[in-house]
Amino acid sequence: MRIDAVDSSDPVVQRLMVLGLVEQAEISFLRASHGGDPLEFRIFGTAISLRRDHASRFAVSRLATDGEPR
C-alpha cells in the first residue's frame, strides 16, 4: 500500500508523520488485534501499531504487483 494523503489536523498524526508515515511512503498491513484495534503495519522495515482512529487519518491505495490489477 502507499499513503496518498494525510489528515494532519490531529497532533498525534503529526507525530506519526515524523516516524515516516507521510505521503508516498509504502506500508504493509500485518495484522489486527483480536478486537480489531490496534492495527499493525510495517514501514521502512519496522512494525508500528496504530489505533484504528489514527489509521483512518491516512488515505492509502493498493500497489499493483506483477500480473495483479490495481
Q: For 12-65, what is each residue's pLDDT tens digit?
A: 999 999 999 999 999 999 999 999 899 999 999 999 999 999 999 999 999 887
**Residue 69's pLDDT band (boundaries 50, 70, 90)?**
low
Contacts of 39 (CB under 8 A, 6+ apart): 29, 31, 32, 33, 49, 50, 51, 52, 55
- Residue 67, pLDDT score: 55
Q: Are 40 and 48 in contact (CB under 8 A)?
A: yes
Pairing assessment for the beta strands 2-6 and 58-61 based on DSSP bridges? antiparallel
Reduced to 3 states, what is the DSSP secondary structure of residue 37? coil
**Domains in the chain: ranges and CATH:** 2-61 (2.30.30.90)
**How far, in Å, CA of 24 to CA of 34, rounded?**
29
For the whole model, what pTM was predicted? Answer: 0.83
- Residue 64, pLDDT score: 81
- Residue 30, pLDDT score: 96
